[in-house]
Structure 1
Amino acid sequence: MKLLFDCDGTILDSMHIWSEPINGIFEKYGFSFEGLDKEEKGKIEALPMGGMIDYIAENIATDMSRAEVSKYFEDVIEDGYKNHLMPKEGALEILTKLKESGYEMAIASSTDSIYLKLAFERLGISDYFSFLNTPDLTDLNKAEDAYWQHAIDKFAVPAEEIILFDDALYAINAAKKLGIKTCGLKDFPYNKREWEYIIESADQVLDTIADIDIEELEG
């Protein structure tokens, strides 16, 4: 079995590094990001950083240039991944056990690889993952079928031999369309509104990746 991990909210306790500046700029202009319906919120969350910047410059902060919106995000994001963001409780331990048990693991993220690499190098887990499936490396986003097909092709196994661990409903639904097995993860409060739908959609659910049962995977 091949293991595919989302990063933000799954490995890293990092959703705040995105949600706080996004919520802040939405609220400044009289909008509510968290108040969007789950489909619209999912579409926006699936955007790579450049796409998010484009969306906000064109639809929300219309009096700011794209460069100004980009600067607003980039300073916060780079500093967070390079210096501050920490793993979810138990995440490093289970990833180490899985690595030692011989599982091939990879990342499926909406965050560009340049930021993930900063955090993974700081935490000493860069060599745990055989590849990073990210928008900047694939020119694809997690809402697209081709994004998940790319991961399947990189693993070079049938889709049903891959398990995705992810906290986002839209990603779980997109991966399932291609036949990938899915495990939904809690990341409250960020996915609390979606949790009942995640339970319905995912093949299984866990509180965190620390709860992965290696013996059950092997079985």
Structure 2
Amino acid sequence: MYGLIFDIDGTILDSMHIWIKPLEDIFKKYGYDLNKIPKEKKGEIEALPFYDMCEFLAENIARDMTKDKVIEYFEQAIENAYANDLLPKNGAVDFLKDLKKKGYILSVASSTDYKYLEKALKRIEIFDLFDFVATPDTIGYNKSEKDFWEYSIKKHGKFPDNLILFDDALYAIKAAKREGIKTIGIKDFPWNEKEWDYIKKEADYFVDEISNFDIENL
């Protein structure tokens, strides 16, 4: 039986706007266009843990803002959204509950800090479906790094080709595939629309909604 790894933002939660819109706005304010950055570099930025991303912005984009000011800029919107507002994507909760009932081991692989994920996943009552949660702030590695996926592989206790990642981000799909993990690309328009053709080529499978994937026919 496969071990199943789930990204959260854009895959389980309809939440990418909470991250991307403020990121696009801060780039635009300082004369840059996030969407014109090469896709690999854009993926690297989006893969950064929250505090590393804020440091990157303070040092490279918003040069008149300190790291603490950039953190404050994001946290005003983010913490409240995860605690109170963000909703699961269509069919995602029932999909996860059904997989759990069938005996699959589920885990999280996210770039978002654990403290935010925990609030959202508990609020929509799916936190306990996951056997473990891997985030850069808890394990010390980013999703673009080999060690991140080696951690998940070891925790699942399976060979990589017996693991499946569900993710909406090209960089994460590519990184997991390099370690031998099977990948399912999830459409999350408009946020991954510019990457979608690349995701379809890179991922082993792809679906418009996570609930459309029939794992029994894999």
Equivalent residue for 1:95?
A: 96
Aligned counterparts of 1:13 and 1:203: Cα–Cα separation in 2 = 23
Number of residue equivalences: 217
* Structure 2 counterpart of 1:65, one-letter code: T
TM-score normalized by structure 2?
Answer: 0.98
Equivalent residue for 2:131?
A: 130
Shift of 1:98: 0.7
Aligned counterparts of 2:68 and 2:214: Cα–Cα separation in 1 = 46
1:38-187 correspondence to structure 2 within 5 Å: 38-187=39-188
Shift of 1:215: 2.3
Runs of 4 or more consecutive aligned structure 1 residues displaced over 4 Å after TM superposition: none
Aligned counterparts of 2:67 and 2:135: Cα–Cα separation in 1 = 22
Aligned counterparts of 1:184 and 1:120: Cα–Cα separation in 2 = 21
Aligned counterparts of 1:165 and 1:204: Cα–Cα separation in 2 = 10
Shift of 1:95: 0.8
CA deviation vs aligned residue, 1:62-91 (integer Å, no higher than 9, x gap): 001111111111121111100000000111
Matched, 1:190 2:182: no
Report the aligned-residue RMSD: 0.8
> Taking every aligned residue pair, what percent have the same amino acid on both sides?
52
Aligned counterparts of 2:179 and 2:101: Cα–Cα separation in 1 = 29
Does the CA contact (< 8 Å) of 1:42 and 1:170 recur in 2?
yes
Aligned counterparts of 2:28 and 2:125: Cα–Cα separation in 1 = 37
Equivalent residue for 1:26?
A: 27
Matched, 1:206 2:207: yes
Aligned counterparts of 1:160 and 1:117: Cα–Cα separation in 2 = 28
* Structure 2 counterpart of 1:133, one-letter code: A
Shift of 1:214: 3.8
TM-score normalized by structure 1?
Answer: 0.97
Does the CA contact (< 8 Å) of 1:4 and 1:163 recur in 2?
yes
Aligned counterparts of 2:84 and 2:75: Cα–Cα separation in 1 = 14
**Match of 2:131, SS?**
strand
Change (3 A) 1:214 1:201: closer
**Match of 1:205, SS?**
strand
* Structure 2 counterpart of 1:150, one-letter code: Y
